[in-house]
Chains A and B, each alone.
Chain A
Amino acid sequence: MRESELHLDVVGPEGVPLRFPAATLAERAMAFGIDLMILFLSLAVVAIALVAAGAASGFATLVGLGLVAAFVIQHGYFIFFEIHWQGTTPGKRLLKLKVVSRDGAGLRPDAVLARNLMRDVELFVPLATIDAPEQLVGDAPWWMLAPTSLWLAVMLFLPVIAKERTRVGDLVGGTIVVRIPEATLARDEAARTSLVPGAPPSDAITFTQPQLDHYGELELETLADLMRKHDQGAASTQDLKIVARTIAQKIGYGGPTPTDDPVRFLRAFYKQQRAFLEKKLLFGKRKTSKFDD
């Protein structure tokens, strides 16, 4: 899980807040671009089909039919997919994005309707106004022009400004767009006893209660990170030696030299420190860091 990411907490029906990574603007723009391409393609297919049918029927009926079909496709595309594909569209599915109801209840069709009815006014109206301002505002006086342009700018750039990257449609529909999180379970560092086959088990190293009373959760987590990094080759054995020596000094460890086999020493320390902290927590005492008394 990347730390710098924006997370959105949604309280599900069970009353437990769940944490979702918010979709980035780039991801949403890409998903929208893909959907737009599919939309244009299907419009083109309809147009070709109508022209092919044009030999049989008259021209005007055809154009009329085409107008209605284009309207239905343009406005029905997102609504259809978000209702039937559980909050996704082809573009969103490719980028693993999903529309979720902000209140944690299931996504209902009326929310989908609301968020997509706003699409026209928040995107196409501002763009059309930038392209040809005279069409919308005409020769309006400045006191009407200024608030209108400000408003259009807010509509267009709301996802950039808003805390949760919501667009206007998300506000009106009460929805957010999240990325489907990846769930990978890292190995439990405390469940492994030995690294080298045949080496004496790390359980042979034991720490006394006062020795375990120095560090808190923060240091424990940092140590787990370091050991995982070492397994992946991102941290050298030299780093482990330094850490092992520091810990031994701080807690006043008097056993065999920890720097001989730092992995074994650190693993034993991690396991016993964790068991100790969890046991303390059971009695209601939480130690978040070494500065926490």
Chain B
Amino acid sequence: MTEPRSVAFRKEREGQWFELDRLTDKALTSGLKSLDAGELHRLPVLYRSCIASLSVARRTAMDQALVDYLEALAARAYLAVYGSRRSTRGALRAVLFEEFPRRVRALGRELALSTGFLTLGAVVAWTLMSVEPGWYDAFVNPALAGGRDPYASTESLRAALYDGGEQGEALSLFASFLFVHNARIGMLCFALGFAAGIPTAMLLFTNGLMLGAFLHLYHSRGLLFELVGWLLPHGIPEIGAVILCGAAGLHLGRSMLLPGARTVRAALADAGRRSSVVVAGAVLLFGVAGLVEGIFRQAVTNDLVRYALAGFNALWFFSWLFLAGREKKPGAREASISRGASRGTGTPRGTGMSSSGGPGA
């Protein structure tokens, strides 16, 4: 009497499956690092043969228990093999100086839109305040204004620019408070993009209103030059980061409204992944702004030195975002485009294993 073919099939491969199960258990409970070189080499080989077994069993085996087992084993092994792409050395550097600026540049339209909303807010506030200075109260949160309002004397407004009343330790507290506050706003700006980008646009607009109100208040007292000198050194990274977060949020909103040929879900995930790197970089920029604010702002009281510092900040800021991470070789552009395309469609680009000496696919 002949045996069912699936019995022989199972007998031949059982040993490999059990070995894969053992390696997978080890990798899932104590991490890939717990496998030695030989096991690390063996895992992807066994995984692929298990996938092949699963495909055969699904089509031809009349034993549901066997198919169920292979389904579960293959899924477990997938988690061990493809669980996460482990970062290699220098990954942080590559993200900071290549991926982040590239992702920023890819958001060109959203950056323009985001800057537009912020500027629109500033222009509206400026215009309304030149008609009626009382609008100031509607635009600026008194907690953040710290007494800098239309009812203050010109002298105290000037004093706020040069000594601010806070010294030493209080200043560092203020700087870290501002960092946390701003970083939260920035992340919110991105996350609210999920509501089709509308709240992001509103948040940018209201921040613009605040900026415009400040500018007009100091302009009306003839202190605009001094204010800009005070504002720009930390304002370049700070306002830049707000614009970046806004652009990331608008990108998210745009992908929902105009997903193109893809499904909304695929477009949203793609946009989310691309812009999350931009937001992470922006949080870093808020940190830099906080440092500039806490260390330099009140210590440096000379207007010209302040403008020089602003120029220096603008130099590294814009060259970082617009020059870093460009590939120099001719033809490199095509390479980066095709790489971007493969990223979008989710084509696998090696696994964490292949760097550790595993065999190629």
The answer to whether B84 touches A86 (Cβ under 8 A) is: yes
- Contacting residues, chain A, for B352 (C-beta < 8 A): 106
- The reply to whether A86 and B5 form a contact with Cβ atoms under 8 Å apart is no
A181 touches B72 (CB 8 A): yes
Say whether A224 contacts B83, CB under 8 Å: no
Nearest chain B residue, comparing its CB with the CB of A113: B276
Q: How far is the CA of A181 from the CA of B54 in the complex (A)?
A: 15
Contact in complex: B273, A181 (CB < 8 Å)? no
A59 to B83, CA, bound (A): 44
- Residues of chain B in range 267-304 having any CB-CB distance to chain A below 8 Å: 268-277, 279-280
* B7 at interface by CB-CB < 8 Å: yes
Contact of B63 among A64, A111, A178, A188 (CB under 8 A): A188
Q: Which residues of the partner chain A approach B317 to less than 8 Å between Cβ atoms?
A: none
Complex interface: chain A residues within 8 A of B54 (CB)? 16
Q: Which residues of B contact A75 (CB under 8 A)?
A: 187
**A-side contacts of B190, CB under 8 Å:** 117
* A113-B82 in contact (CB<8A): no
Known A185-B65, A203-B1; contact A171-B269, beta-carbon cutoff 8 A: yes
Mark contacts of A77-98 with chain B using CB atoms, 8 A cut-off: 1 yes-contact digit, 0 otherwise: 0000001011100000000001
Chain A 21-58 against B: per-residue CB contact (8 Å), 1 yes, 0 no? Answer: 00000000000000000000000000000000000001
Tell me the count of chain B residues lying within 8 A, CB to CB, of chain A.
Answer: 84
B119 on the A face (CB < 8 A): no
CA distance A274 to B169 in the complex (A): 81
- Out of A14, A113, A173, which one reaches B51, CB within 8 Å? A14
Q: Does B74 sit within 8 A of A, measured CB to CB?
A: yes
**11 pairs, A vs B, C-beta closer than 8 Å:** A58-B168, A86-B84, A103-B269, A106-B84, A106-B85, A110-B274, A172-B271, A174-B272, A183-B69, A221-B62, A228-B65
List A residues at the B interface (Cβ < 8 Å).
1, 10, 12-14, 16, 18-20, 58-61, 63-65, 67-68, 70-71, 75, 83, 85-87, 98, 100-111, 113-115, 117-118, 120-122, 125, 151, 155, 168, 171-175, 178, 180-186, 188-191, 203, 206, 217, 220-221, 224, 228, 271-272, 274-275, 277-279, 281-282
Known: A68-B180, A188-B65, A271-B4. 7 other contacts (CB 8 A): A1-B68, A12-B51, A58-B169, A87-B79, A173-B276, A178-B79, A275-B2
Q: Which residues of B contact A (CB under 8 A)?
A: 1-7, 10-11, 14, 17, 21, 28, 31-32, 48, 51, 54-55, 60-66, 68-69, 71-76, 78-79, 82-85, 87, 95, 168-170, 172-177, 179-180, 183-184, 187-188, 190-192, 194-195, 252, 265-266, 268-277, 279-280, 346-349, 351-352, 361
